[in-house]
Chains A and B, each alone.
Chain A
Amino acid sequence: MKTTSPVTVLIAAIGATVITLAQNWKLAGFIFILIVGGLFPLMASGVFTFQITQLLIYAIAIAGLNLLTGFNGQFSLGHSAFYAIGAYVSAVLMTQLDMPFYLTIPIAAAVCFVFGFLFGLPALRLEGIYLALATFALAIATPQILKFKPIEHLTGGVQGLALFHLKPEAPFGLQLDQDQWTFYVTFAVTILMFFFAFSLVNSRSGRAMKAIRDNHIAAKVTGINLSLFKTLTFGVSALFTGVAGALSAMLIAFVAPDSFQITLAVAIFVGMVVGGVGWIPGAFLGALFILFVPNIAEHIAFGLAAFFDFVRKFIPFFPTIGEQSSKGLTGTVYGVFLILLIYVMPSGLAGLLRLAVQRLAQARS
């Protein structure tokens, strides 16, 4: 009689797992992501952990906008407003009611859903470009509304609210610093939100959303309640972005009106287009772009500024470049990047990937 040694058991177990995972690549991918995410903050530097946390937050916001635009065909250049509402709801609840941060996330989500739903009502009557305009106006007005005097005792007015002392600590005596713990919280919420997004898109409701995007009249004929679905989608989209806002309040530990300028709305929008309209995972690529490309542009701008300084030695008329001006160069480089990107891939990274897949398929057949 042979006794099964622990090693055989282990090998058998691993083998069985590998086979199961190979058959179910989605599960395998999920486990892989869990492992990478779980180990990441333990190995990366604090700054990098912070950045990746920010990346996940942006990705959630972008996915929210993508649900609205990519899957329902409605524009928004105003998602900074919902991001701001999420952040402020979370911040105000923590400062005014001493509520623990975790509890503020669902409340921020609910409040944003309601706001999104309400904004979706007038939006119902607006087509394409008009909707872009109305939301653009919303984004521009947001910082002003946040500074509004009568609500200053809640929002802290121009100064905003500091949350440093309220940042959650890792529980159970875990040896994690605040940034590491913040990453884990964000990571968990990200998984949850994307799981929600994927399920929604593949559900009956998701098909209705897409039907509306593709063809109003046909969707109406098949008995879809157009108005309800469009406003609901607006609500869900705002919900996503609001959750991202709440997470960002915790990450930055500070909210102020000027953090929620039109530039934020634009960043979310650019992230969506770059990642690919109508492709949920593209949110991460888009987030990557809006997080790092401005930095790259800044480096290039510094290089250019140095180059111009060098040129100026030979050409007396060449304008002087001050500290401020290299800030100007950064924006220019970033803008040129954006234009080149659209030239190279008019439909974003998703479009490029789709094209590549098509080409491969063609080459094979």
Chain B
Amino acid sequence: MEQVVQQIVGGLATGAIYACIALSIVMIYQAIDHLNFAQGEMAMFSTYIAWQLMHWGMPYWGAFFLTIAISFVLGYAIERIVFKPVHNAPVLSHIVIFIALFVIINSMAGFIWEFTIKPFPTPFGTKPVLGGGILSAHGAGMIAVTGIMLVMLYAFFRYTRVGLAMRAASANPDSARLVGIRVGFMNALGWGMAAAIGAVAGIMIAPVVFLEPNMMVTILLYGFAGAVVGGLTSPGGAVFGGFAVGVIENLASFVPQFGAEMKLTIALALIILVLTLKPNGLFGRKIVSRV
């Protein structure tokens, strides 16, 4: 029993990261109606930026916040430079662009920083904070950072005019234009914010998985799983889904024969299972597909 509790707590820590990624997926999905397959790579690249800043001697939190700012600008720029010109292209072409971005960002990281694994610091330390050592200080820190970010995002969307405008632009672009909202600008803002959230996720997970260009590929899949479990239209659901996937993944290690090797397959099965039973996720609304 105690073991189960330990696994659940441990799952919450990794779940916090999946929740971050799931949240940034949902944010972009809300803004542009697409799943961004390059989301994980953007987060990875941001993490490298943080590493570089620290490597140049910047203190951890300075690098942390500067990276968030830079990532925001990069995300914004990607929308404006890469996506705006092909706004009216078919959906399949958009997916190809996501794939291209994925390849470019991944390769650029390798080009600039080499493909070798780098250790990444944690500001929280690694001492265990809970009995049995299942939750480290870093794990607790990740959960806390995710929590703070969620509260801030909620406040932003709920109480600011820009947040309201962003919600309106994604819910009903035509009407949003008719009240004078520049929908394209809002999309780009959404990209910027998603990139910033991804940066936080990357910086938080890097001490656990180490820094390398492919660090995010599987985490992205878990993020997708989290977003799907929660429902792509529900930011809160995405966060719940992220935590749920983290816990389920950890509990799955009890299943004999499966263990660690089949974790990815579990994520796959989870995605398919949830989608089959509840095609719009646990908390999602029906999506009128434009595809």
Contact = CB atoms under 8 A, between A and B. Distances in A.
Interface of A: 69, 73, 75, 77, 122, 125-130, 132-134, 136-138, 140-141, 144-145, 147-150, 262, 266, 269-270, 272-274, 277, 319, 321-322, 324-332, 334-336, 338-339, 341-343, 346-348
A346 B107 contact: no
B240 interface: no
B110 A127 contact: no
21 contacts: A69-B92, A77-B95, A125-B275, A130-B232, A134-B275, A137-B272, A138-B268, A140-B218, A141-B268, A144-B262, A149-B257, A327-B107, A327-B115, A328-B107, A330-B107, A331-B103, A332-B107, A338-B97, A346-B90, A347-B90, A348-B93
Contacts, number: 164
Contacts of A331: 103-104, 106-108, 110
Contacts of B55: none
Nearest to A270: B96
A84 to B, nearest CB: 14
Given A128-B291, A269-B99, A342-B89, A148 B275 contact: no
B107 A144 contact: no
Nearest to B103: A335
The B interface is mostly helix, strand or loop, or mixed, namely helix
A328 B100 contact: no
A292 to B, nearest CB: 16
Number of chain B interface residues as a range: 35 or more
Contacts of A321: 111
B91 A343 contact: no
B291 A75 contact: yes
A133 B262 CA distance: 19
Contacts of B37: 136
Nearest to A331: B107
Interface string B220-245: 01001100100010000000000000
Given A125-B279, A130-B228, A269-B99, 5 more contacts: A75-B291, A128-B290, A324-B110, A332-B111, A335-B100
B89 A347 contact: yes
A326 B107 CA distance: 9
Contacts of A150: 257
Nearest to B99: A266
Nearest to B270: A137
Contacts of B104: 331-332, 335-336, 339
Contact of B110 (A125, A270, A325): A325
A329 B107 contact: yes
Given A126-B279, A270-B96, A133 B109 contact: no
A269 B272 contact: no
Contact of A328 (B92, B99, B115): B115
